[in-house]
Chain A
Amino acid sequence: MKFKLNFSLTSIAAAALLSTSAMASDLVITFDDLNPDKAAAYEAAVEAFKKANPDINVVANNGDREAHKGTIRNALQNDSPDLITWYPGNRMGPFVDAGLFMDISDLWASDPNLSGNFNAIKPTMTRDGKQWGVPYSYYQWGVYYRKDIYEKLGLSEPKTWDELLGNCDKMKEAGVTPFTIGTKFLWTAAGVFDYLNLRTNGYDVHNELTAGKVKYTDPRIRDTFANWETMLDRCSFVSTHATMSWQDAIAPFANGDAAMYVMGNFSVGQYKDAGLTDDQIDFFQFPEITPGLPRAEEAPADAFFIPAKATNVENAKKFLAFIATPEIQSEWNKTIGQLPPNSEAAINTDDKFIVEGMETLSTAAGLAQFYDRDAPAAMAKEGMQGFQKFMLDPSSLDEILENLDKVQAEVYK
């Protein structure tokens, strides 16, 4: 635990004494995840980088993820670090458009590792034909379920919508709530919406919706909500979901009161912390709804960007190239239990979820970044509130969709 003010005052004194000597080369990094394993993986990568580049003085900052979403705009305009974490896809759009991220296409072109091993994710990092960041991790979404409950009830992993609904009926008969979810922070509901929309209408329609080209009152989107209503009806969710965070929602899942959870792979560690073993939990891809649609998946990526106002650009690029290497990518993602975007990186084959995730994503016809990253923040905020409202009160659908159209018209102007 360092005390910043003190540190800097001594460094002033030191620098005043040493001001004639060669300028030390710095690298200031801002990361945005305080969760213990995430922070540990980041710190380990920084340590490895320091070891490889002893002449660079690395200042590694870390902060709360939610707070980061609000404060990044200050960071980019002033007080710029040399590297900052942010989301690819549409979410990087405003900063790219305002010229606040640095174009690093040259790095992507000149570094053989980046140009050769990141083909699947490259489109996500691209805007206006240029690359703006380097991803360090991504992960799959899908349905996590209690294998032991499934076995007890004689159910099997559903491949189609009807199979899923049939499974739900049997669970309810047995007194099990089919799905758990915690919508207090809204975004979990967006995961359900994304999958229903991807499976009902496919990747292209979903993309057009989040890009503001399809209205929310469009009959195709209404179909998605009709399916959601069926799901609410036959596959009910735990009743107190609006007061629970996604972690709170694990409690009924772990206790055997609920059997399935539409979630991202980062949740697996939490299931195990809650006492569940690999034998009790498993994963299946969200079942097909409209037959014959190419299967698209949610695969949000996390990436590093260089702010346009960064002072130590060369060092920043060195760091980006460093964390893109197969070794670092595989180390980092082993620690946090996610997938390396680098196709040459090794994955942990002992982890069945990672293996299944690799399989799921490498065969997908399209990768969505998640609703709150694909849609602009102002739209996502309203949209997710609408989803939560719909889950609590499906009868207010018309009102919700009309309001979302209004917001859409304003936000995408």
Chain B
Amino acid sequence: MNTAATSTDRFSTSAGRMVVAAVVMLVCVVLLMLVSTTGMQGLLDLAQRTEARVPTFLVRISLIIAALTAAFFFITSHSYYKRNKVAIAPWMFLSVGLVFFSIYVIVPIFQSISYSFTRWDGLYDFNGVWTGEWVGLHNYKLLLDDPNFYTSLWNNLLWLLLFMLAVPIGLFIALFLNQTVAGIRIYKSLFFFPFVISQVVVGLIFTWAYNPEFGLLSEIWSWFFCETKTNIMGNLTRVCSPEPPSILGDETMATYGIIAAGLWPQIAYCMILYLTGLNNISSDQIEAGRLDGAKGWKMLRHVILPQLKPATFIAIVVTVIGALRSFDMIATMTQGGPYGSSNVLAYYMYDQAVGEGVGRYGYGSAIATVLFLIMLVYISYFLWRMYVDEMEAK
């Protein structure tokens, strides 16, 4: 009060701003309620069109933004803010992002966990009443008795283990490319190239490459094992002995095939992390190492790798996350097949919850919860590492 009151002029501007802001806020909130309860129908007679949904939504968002802006002016004009700037300002900076993030990310985690204790097919009846029922731990009991769940879990483990190959291979390529010959920059970018392409496209490329009839691998196979014969109708046909492997159609190979495809961009990612890391290694230490007679493998182990530790840490983190998020590749390459043998938890959950209208929301949520718990181990580890770093930095 006293800071604002020192000048009557400032006080009145401030009060005027507050009143205007309050009025704007009120108007926005009233309009927002109008739009929400009656839809655009009450305002513009448009709700019948499907297209009307988008403008309704945009109107709502604009109203919310206007209300927030008004609230901002209201608060910053208030004397309490002026006295406690440093305490209030961070919450104002945080508010929108934090609320937004909580609504879409934090709250749904708990909602999903609560779904996992229900049997529900995702439907509300005509009056908007929830059609599910609470079943306690039933879904988890089913899960323990579901062979597909174990297959998915095992495949997740395979992904985690084999995906780790991206780290050493990435390091190897980074070492190979860490030179200064002419044009090396272009080589580096081109090696990084696969990472930029979407996983769907990578999946399609490899689906084609693996195709036993006309793919890249079967072509190479045919150079060694196949001959072209004429069939009964006089058409040419390829007869192979042994037949080319049907990588994505064989339960023992499908998962490995997808992982190999997934490694391609992941290696590129790890490579770029290491290239940056190598760039930042102090040359003094390398020289010192050389003077001590270290070279080759010894140098790598004792001098280089310790300095690459931050790069290795990030590479492992992104690789673990990538392995557990392996959804796109499976969706494009096998849809979990043949008969569920290349499923992972992420895809199995999707399949049970919304795939082809199966609609087992409760069961799907139970699978998602298990996946979340696995990921939580890594998240905790990562946060702990960050916490230690923060404490050291202080």
Contact = CB atoms under 8 A, between A and B. Distances in A.
A28 interface: yes
Interface of A: 4-5, 7-9, 11-12, 15-16, 19, 23, 26, 28, 59, 61, 66, 69-70, 72-73, 76-77, 79, 81, 94-95, 98-100, 146, 148-149, 152-153, 174-176, 183-186, 239-244, 248, 251, 255-257, 308-309, 311-312, 372, 377-378, 380-381, 385-386, 388-389, 392, 399, 403, 406, 410, 413
A403 B351 CA distance: 17
Nearest to A389: B339
A378 B119 CA distance: 13
Q: Is the interface of A mostly helix, strand, loop or mixed?
A: helix
Interface string B138-151: 00001001010000
Given A11-B49, A61-B50, A73-B357, A94 B123 contact: yes
Given A8-B54, A81-B50, A378-B358, A152 B123 contact: no
Given A184-B337, A308-B126, 19 more contacts: A11-B46, A69-B356, A98-B131, A100-B126, A148-B233, A149-B232, A153-B232, A174-B232, A176-B232, A184-B334, A242-B338, A311-B48, A372-B356, A385-B339, A388-B337, A388-B338, A389-B339, A399-B147, A413-B119
A12 B212 contact: no
Contact of B213 (A100, A240, A389): A240
A377 B355 CA distance: 9
Q: Identify the interface centre among A61, A70, A389: most chain B CB within 10 Å of its CB.
A: A70
B147 A152 contact: no
Contacts of B249: 184, 240-244
- Residues of B contacting A: mostly: loop
15 contacts: A26-B49, A59-B51, A70-B354, A70-B355, A77-B124, A94-B121, A94-B123, A149-B233, A175-B232, A243-B210, A256-B233, A312-B48, A377-B357, A392-B338, A399-B147
A28 B49 contact: yes
A11 B51 contact: yes
A12 B337 CA distance: 47
Interface residues of B, number: 54
B52 interface: yes
B343 to A, nearest CB: 10
Contacts of A4: 51, 54
A99 B126 contact: yes
B243 interface: yes
B369 interface: no
A23 B45 contact: yes
B233 A255 contact: yes
A300 to B, nearest CB: 15
